[in-house]
Homo-oligomer: A and B are copies of this chain.
């Protein structure tokens, strides 16, 4: 019924570390199905103990935390290949919510099989930990950005990050990429108000550095954008796919 991992369209991408046939066979058993959700669907709720874990196959989404008064912090944007549910898998409770921004296809795993993965597939367990470490690393960089940089630099940092992520999974066409979020989402990810985010995006547009409209981000001057955002443009590291 469900596509076996041998036929996974994502695995072909050169960004993802190749798997041995043993690993692919294991993942096929680990996988319990596929899930297609509409835009706007909540996938995981903060505090919930989800019995399912996912890998995003297509579409985009976002991770966020909600505060008591309704304010929202977007932690990260979800791209194809991203693993969803790490905290549920390990600690049994999610620290944030996840929702689909566009329609998405997800690969589904059983949480209860995670221990089996550690016991019988150390390579895959290592990969899982690697993903956790990368996410930790990203959040550290995001915290430094939100904590220390002024608005123009925050936006530039975020746009470079998004563009590099998109490049890694071949979602870019030249200097463009789909960016199907609202300005409010980006604002909430950077600790800025919607109004100020809008005005700062206008500045980047005027400066001929980057423009974002109708769900498409166009980078006119990546070097300059990276300079403003104080971020390196390094070749993407290959990363494991769960």
A148, B91: Cβ atoms closer than 8 Å: no
Contacts of A130 in B (CB 8 A): 90-91
Task: Kindly list chain B residues whose C-beta atoms are within 8 Å of the C-beta of A89.
Answer: 133
Of the 9-residue stretches A50-58, A65-73, A105-113, A196-204, which lies at the interface with chain B? A65-73
We find that the number of chain A residues with CB closer than 8 angstroms to chain B is 46
B67 near A133 (CB under 8 angstroms)?
no
Residue of B nearest to A145 (CB): B73
Partner of A129, one of B68, B75, B95, B128: B128
**Other-chain residue from B86, B125, B132, B133 in contact with A122 (beta carbon distance below 8 A):** B125
Q: Which of B90, B125, B148 lies in contact with A118, CB distance below 8 A?
A: B125
Residues 86-120 of A contacting B (Cβ, < 8 Å): 86-87, 89-91, 95-96, 115, 118-119
**A148–B87 touching, CB < 8 Å:** no
- Contact status A191-B146, CB under 8 Å: yes
Question: In the complex, which of the residues B86, B137, B191 contacts A95, with contact meaning CB atoms closer than 8 Å?
Answer: B137
Given A118-B126, A122-B125, do A91 and B133 touch, yes or no (CB 8 Å)? yes
Task: Kindly state the separation between the CA atoms of A125 and B148 in the bound complex, as whole angstroms.
Answer: 34
Answer whether residue A230 sits at the interface, using C-beta atoms and an 8 A cutoff. yes
Distance, CA A90 to CA B126, complexed state (A): 8
CA distance A137 to B144 in the complex (A): 16
Q: Do B140 and A65 have beta carbons less than 8 Å apart? A: yes
Closest Cβ–Cβ distance, residue A43 to chain B (whole Å): 16
A90 near B129: Cβ-Cβ < 8 Å: yes
The residue of chain B having its C-beta at the shortest distance from the C-beta of A130 within the complex is B90
Chain B residues within an 8 Å CB radius of A129: 90, 118, 125, 128-129, 132
Q: In this assembly, does A38 line the interface, its C-beta being within 8 Å of a C-beta of chain B?
A: no
Question: Which residues does A use to contact B, with CB under 8 Å?
Answer: 65, 67-69, 71-73, 75, 86-87, 89-91, 95-96, 115, 118-119, 122-123, 125-126, 128-130, 132-137, 139-144, 146-149, 188-191, 230
Q: With contacts A86-B136, A132-B132 known, what are 20 further pairs, Cβ within 8 A?
A: A65-B144, A67-B144, A67-B148, A69-B230, A71-B148, A75-B143, A90-B133, A91-B134, A96-B140, A118-B122, A118-B129, A122-B125, A132-B136, A139-B139, A139-B140, A143-B146, A146-B146, A146-B147, A147-B188, A147-B189
